[in-house]
Amino acid sequence: MQEKVLPSAGILDRIRAEPLFASFALQSFSKLFDGAQTHYFNAGETIAKAATPADGLWLSLGEHLALSDYQGGDLGLASVMGEEAIAGHASYMRTAVATSDGAQIRIPRQTLQDVLAEEPALTKRAHNALLGSFGGSVAPATAKIIDNTNQKAFQKHFLGWAAALISPILVLLMGSVMSWDLPNTIFISILCATVCMWVFSLVDEFVPPLFAVAAMLLVDLAPTSVVLSGFASSGLILFVAVYVLGGVMVATGLSYRLIVLLRTILPDTAFWHGFSLVISGYALSPSMPSANARLALLLPFYRVYCSNPNIKVGSRAHTRLAAAVFCGSMNMSPMFLTSKSANLIILAMLSTQLQDEFQGMFWFVAALVCAAVMTVGHFVLEQIFFAGPPLPVAGNEKLRLQASLLGPLRTDEWFALSALALFIFGALTTSWHHVALPWIGGFILVALLLYGLVSKKNFQQYVDWPMVFFLLSLQGITSTMDYLHIVDQLKPLVRAAAAIVNEEFWRVVLVELVVVSIVRLALPITAGAVVSVILLLPLAEATGVNPWVVGFIAAMFSDMWFMPYQSSNYAQLRGAQPKAEMFDEPLFLRYNLATCAVRLLAVFASIPYWQYLGLA
């Protein structure tokens, strides 16, 4: 072997022409080119030998490599050798001999490992190439896919960025002409840009609220303690603790064991799989005032169900499970006083007499018809949207054998189970011990860290940090809006709208639907519910309806969403799996629209019941 320098352009062209590297980013090509070396071989000279360390990938300028296996069996000619270095094998599995005099390009293993971090698909391609080599077939080149949606995506992004840039300017000009309060005008302009980023999906969901927080800090719109109130709240500890607890349940195998146990108790069908997820979410609702926290605890069970080999990625069965876990975490949010933080705020807005009346279980009693309609509605929609061929039934004997194969609970599983039990028990008995749920979660988080179940890498993986920042940033936006008293300036508009209600309850419902839908275009669920209640309470005085009913309907309608950016819970569900392993999103969105109709039906169905209770 002799050193011989090839023209740089020739090396780069050969690297870019290699099918293994198809669709690579320019930065990846740059790294490969930087590490590439050239060597000259005579015909018949061995380039790489089987059972020797796989220290690099060899690229020939033509099919000048004769490959053979360990026993010397002929594997044909090739232009590339050394995929073992990419696929993770310590040694070469084949021998490569030069068939003619010429230069060969070598890319060291270390360079390949650096690129793998940016191009994870390379490992699978290398495995396929190895299988093709031993199977006597050549791995096909990756075809360049022509995406006809690129032009449409460009137009959408162009319109989106134009709206995000122009709408704040228009608001500032309008505020100047109409002599609006300057801080409020600036806040609305920032909010317009934020909503445009969401509506047109210009960036990931967590970026717009972070932009809003940064912009408000930059112009000194409110004190730092107000703008960053979300990051200073106990909600941060709660979200991190719940995510880590869910991750530990998966890592220790506890979630898989619990799913196997559920499958031995319940019939092993698609309906009962979804039913178990729904009921689990319902059981958590009275004790956990955050749908995001409930969803984070349910996601490990959802992933285990999705790992069933009979459930294909993106199938109706897969989407059915996604709908079930979403329904379980969301449907009971307005039904219990303690299942949604906005409910507690709504209670605080009522008179002392009404607070005493609705503080206990009467809140749920008054919401009973809505809860029943929402639950029945989900299972009816499930049959309409997700009906498909039945999944193969494992059989009780097989499931019992699975359970016995897992053996007794290991120490790590016992610890994780104890942490889960403590969290749920602590949440259920808050009224007795008066310890806030975030501090219970914080204690469990520290215990898991000290026990050693969570490493530095695990801590990064278990917590959905973009979602945490998303939720905390939204809280900062809401606090700033409250600090600027923006809602108070909108109340006269709603009082004017009360004139068209004319004491007709069905008109009250429709007015609430319109107001909440408009508010929710710009504000997240909790903030949208609170702001809507503040705006709509004058309707109760104008129509003689119990103020609780007005507040409850606002809480019900605030959970409705029509575009993905409006629901942090949906963003959380969508991010629970890689995009390549996601459910059928268009089908799920159609199901969600139908649930909005069911939610409206539930409110109308409750009117006679509320009249019976004397609330309307």
pLDDT in tens, 399-416: 677 677 778 888 998 998
Q: Verify that 23 and 128 share a domain, yes or no.
A: yes
Average pLDDT over residues 335-357: 76
pLDDT band at 142 (very low <50, low <70, confident <90, very high): very low
Same domain, yes or no: 368 and 495: yes
The residue with greater pLDDT, 152 or 2, is 152
Sheet of strand 2-3, all strands in order from the earlier edge strand to the far edge: 2-3, 37-41, 102-108, 56-60, 80-81
Q: What percent of the chain has pLDDT over 90?
A: 23
pLDDT (tens digit, 9 = 90+) per residue, 445-471? 999 999 988 888 888 888 878 877 877
Mean pLDDT of the chain, nearest integer: 82
Are residue 23 and residue 66 in the same domain, yes or no?
Answer: yes
Number of domains in the chain: 3
Question: In this predicted structure, what is the pLDDT of residue 189?
Answer: 93
519 and 549 share a domain?
Answer: yes
Q: How far apart are CA 520 and CA 526, in angstroms?
A: 10
With respect to residue 248, please indicate whether it lies within any of the assigned structural domains. no
Residue 95's domain comprises 2-134
Residues 125 and 166 in one domain: no
Return d(Cα 466, Cα 500) in angstroms, integer. 44
Q: List Cβ neighbours of 494 (8 Å cut-off, separation of 6 or more).
A: 515, 535, 536, 538, 539
Same domain, 492 and 350: yes
Q: Compare 607 and 120 and report the one with higher pLDDT.
A: 607
| CATH number for position 81 | 2.60.120.10
Tally of CB atoms within 10 A around 75: 18
Residue 450 maps to a domain = no
Q: What pLDDT, in 10s, does the model give residues 5-50?
A: 566 777 888 888 888 888 787 778 878 887 888 888 888 889 888 8
**Do residues 463 and 240 make contact, with C-beta atoms less than 8 angstroms apart?**
yes
Please name the helix (run of DSSP H) or strand (run of DSSP E) that holds residue 81, with its range, or none.
strand 80-81
For residue 534, tell me if it sits in a domain: yes
Which amino acid is present at 60? S
569 pLDDT band, cuts 50/70/90, is confident
Nearest-CA neighbor of 23 among 110, 113, 122? 122
35 within some domain: yes
Identify whether residues 605 and 500 lie together within a single domain. yes
Residues 353 and 497 in one domain: yes
| Distance from C-alpha of 314 to C-alpha of 308, rounded to nearest angstrom | 13
In a domain, 447, yes or no: no
Residue with tokens 């300017």: 169
- The verdict on 128 and 154 lying in the same domain is no
Residue 183 lies in a domain: yes
Can you tell me the mean pLDDT for 138-159?
55
The rounded distance, in Å, linking the Cα atoms of 421 and 436 is 16
| Weakest mean pLDDT among 167-181, 280-294, 333-347, 529-543 | 529-543
pLDDT, position 146: 39
**pLDDT at residue 272 tops 50:** yes
Range in 153-167, 220-234, 253-267 the model is least confident about: 253-267
Which tens digits make up the pLDDT trace of 482-497?
788 876 666 666 566 6
Which of residues 200, 221, 242 is at a domain's end? 221
- The per-residue pLDDT for 592 is 95
**HEC string of 529-596?**
HHHHHHHHHHHHHHHCCCHHHHHHHHHHHHCCCCCHHHCHHHHHHHCCCCHHHCCCHHHHHHHHHHHH
How far apart are alpha carbons 505 and 512 in whole angstroms?
11
- For residues 101 and 159, membership in a common domain is answered with no
pLDDT at 118 over 90: no
Residues 117 and 157 in one domain: no
Distance CA 374, CA 379 (A): 9
- pLDDT value at position 139? 39
What gap in Å lies between CA 311 and CA 303, rounded to an integer? Answer: 11
Q: Which range is most confident: 11-25, 223-237, 267-281, 317-331?
A: 317-331
The reported pLDDT for the residue numbered 392 is: 63
pLDDT surpasses 60 at 394? no
Q: Does residue 123 form part of some domain?
A: yes
Order the strands of the 74-78 sheet from edge to edge: 46-48, 95-98, 65-68, 74-78
Let me know whether 43 and 188 are in one domain: no
- Outline where 119-181 has alpha helix (H): 121-134, 150-177
Spatial distance between the Cα atoms of 175 and 186, rounded to a whole number of angstroms: 9
The answer to whether residues 244 and 250 touch, using CB atoms and an 8 Å cutoff, is no
Examine residue 308 and state whether it is found in any structural domain, yes or no. Answer: no
Query: HSE (CB half, 13 Å, CA atoms) of 511?
Result: 27
